[in-house]
Amino acid sequence: MPLRPPAGFIRPGYDPLKVPDAPTIGTATAGTPDSGSVSVAFTAPSNVGGSAISAYYAVSNPGQITSSGASSPVTVTGLTSGTSYTFTVWALNTYGPSPYSASSGSVTPAAARGVFGGNSDTGSNVIQYITIATTGNAIDFGDLSLGFVGGPAGCASSTRGLFGGGFASSVYINNIEYITIATTGNALDFGDLTVARGYLAACSSSVTGVFAGGYTPTIQNVIDWVTIASTGNATDFGDLYTAASDIVGCASPTRGVFSGGYTPTTINIIQYITIATTGNSADFGDLLSARYDVMSCSSSTRGIMAGGNNAGNTNVIQYITIASLGDAIDFGDLLAANSNGAGCSSSTRGVFGGGSSTNVIQYVTIATTGDATDFGDLLSNAAYIAACSNAHGGL
C-alpha cells in the first residue's frame, strides 16, 4: 500500500509538515472464530505533528475494510472467515492523515468449526468436523486414541477441544484427550478425570472445562474441572445437587447449565454452576418434560436442548435464557424424534448431529425459534457421541 495520505482526509487546513509520522505496525491477531474480526496492534509515532492525534485507522488488504480507535489495538470487523489479510495503520490529527505504516504479517480469521468424536453404533474412534456456517457433510478429522463405545463428553476453548470419559472396550474410562480444532489430526492425551465414568456432560468458558455427572457403574454427582490450555488431571469442582447420568451441558461465558438425565428415574431438572467459582450446582428450573440423552448447545445468552428419551424419543426443541433462572420454553421441532446425538454451536447457529441409528446433521438459528433444518450427514450413523466447537456460547 503506498505511503500517501488516504483519500478523503485531504481537507482545507491540510499541512503535510504538521501531520503525524506513520505508526509502527505490530501484530495482527484474529478474533474468536466466526467473529470476522482482527485486532491490529501498533506503536504510536513519537512525532505527532502540529496537534494531538485524534484517531488511528487500521485498513485491511484485501478489501480496504477500515476501523478506527483512539489507541492500540484497533479491531477491524466485517472480515471474511478463511481469507488471509494484512493490515496497515495510519494516524489523524487536526492537520491531516499520517502516511501508512508498513504492512502487518498475514492473519486469517477462523471459521466456526464443530467437531464430533466417538460413536457407540460402531465402536468407532473417528473424529469428524463441519464448518458451522456452511451446510454440508462432515469431514474426517482424525482419531481418538481409544475406540469410545459410548458416552464421552466434549467441551472447548476457541482453539482446543477436549473429549473426556466414556465407555471403551467394556470399561469406563477417565481419559481426557485434546485436539487443536483448527488443525486436523489425532487426539492427544490431556490427563484424567477424578472418576472414570461415561454418559457424563461437559461445558466450558474460554478458560475452564467442566465435566459433570455420569455413570460408573453407579450414578455420579461429581463435577470436575480443568484449565483447557494446560494439560493435566482434572480437579474436584463440587457436586451436582441431583446425581445424574445421560445429562447434557451448555454454557454462557460465566454460567454452566446441565439438563435432564437419569437418576435412576428420568428427570426434568435443570441445574447450574458459576464456571469461575468451584462449588455445588444449584436449581435452575425444569425442562418441558423429563428426559435423558438430550442434545444441547448454546449462544452466549441462550441454551438449546433438543430431543431426548423417556419411554420413547422426542423431537421437541426447547430453550432457556442462561442468565435468568426459570423453566425451559418451546423452541420448535427436530426433523424427527431423536436422542443420543450431540450438539455444538457458533454464536448464532446450533447444530445437532447423529443419534439413535442416524447420521443426520440438522441446525437451528439460536436466536429465532422454529423447526430444525437439514444440514448434511455425519460419516456414518453415530450414537452416544460427543461434540464441541471453537465458537460456542461459553467463549
SS3 readout for 121-171: CCCEEEEEEEECCCCCCCEEEEECCCCECCCCEEEECCCEEEEECCEECCE
What is the pLDDT confidence band of residue 6, given thresholds at 50, 70 and 90? low
How confident is the model at residue 12, as a pLDDT? 75
CA 1/CA 24 separation, integer angstroms: 15
**So what's the pLDDT on residue 14?**
83
More confident site: 163 or 9: 163
Cell digits for 251?
454454557
204 DSSP β-pair partners = 209
More confident residue, 150 or 331: 331
Contact 103, 117 (CB under 8 A): no
pLDDT in tens, 30-40: 998 888 999 99
Q: Hey, what's the cell of 367?
A: 436466536
Above pLDDT 90, what percent of the chain?
A: 87
Going edge to edge, which strands form the sheet with 329-338?
295-298, 302-306, 314-321, 329-338
Which DSSP state fits 11? -
pLDDT band at 2 (very low <50, low <70, confident <90, very high): very low
Q: Is pLDDT larger for residue 3 or for residue 65?
A: 65
Give me the pLDDT at residue 357, please: 87
The amino acid that residue 296 corresponds to is S
pLDDT of residue 307: 98
Task: Judge whether residue 22 has pLDDT over 50.
Answer: yes
Please give the pLDDT value at position 7: 55
Q: What per-residue confidence (pLDDT) applies to 229? A: 98
Name the residue type at position 272. Y
pLDDT digit string (tens) for 267-286?
999 999 999 999 999 999 99
User: Averaged over 198-205, what is the pLDDT?
Assistant: 97
List Cβ neighbours of 278 (8 Å cut-off, separation of 6 or more).
225, 236, 237, 238
Confidence of residue 215 (pLDDT cuts 50, 70, 90): very high
Q: In which band, very low, low, confident or very high, does the pLDDT at 389 lie, cut at 50, 70 and 90?
A: very high
> Given a cut of 90, is residue 55 above it in pLDDT?
yes
Q: What is the pLDDT of residue 117?
A: 93
pLDDT tens per residue, range 96-143:
999 999 999 999 999 999 999 987 655 678 999 999 999 999 999 999
More confident position, 145 or 361: 361
Residue 115 has what pLDDT?
A: 98
DSSP secondary structure, 284-350, as one string? EEE-SS--BS-EEEE-SSEEEEE--BSSSBEEEEEEEETTS----EEEEEEEEEE-S-EEEE-SSEE
Give the cell for residue 334.
427436530
Strands 96-97 and 86-93: antiparallel
pLDDT value for 94? 93
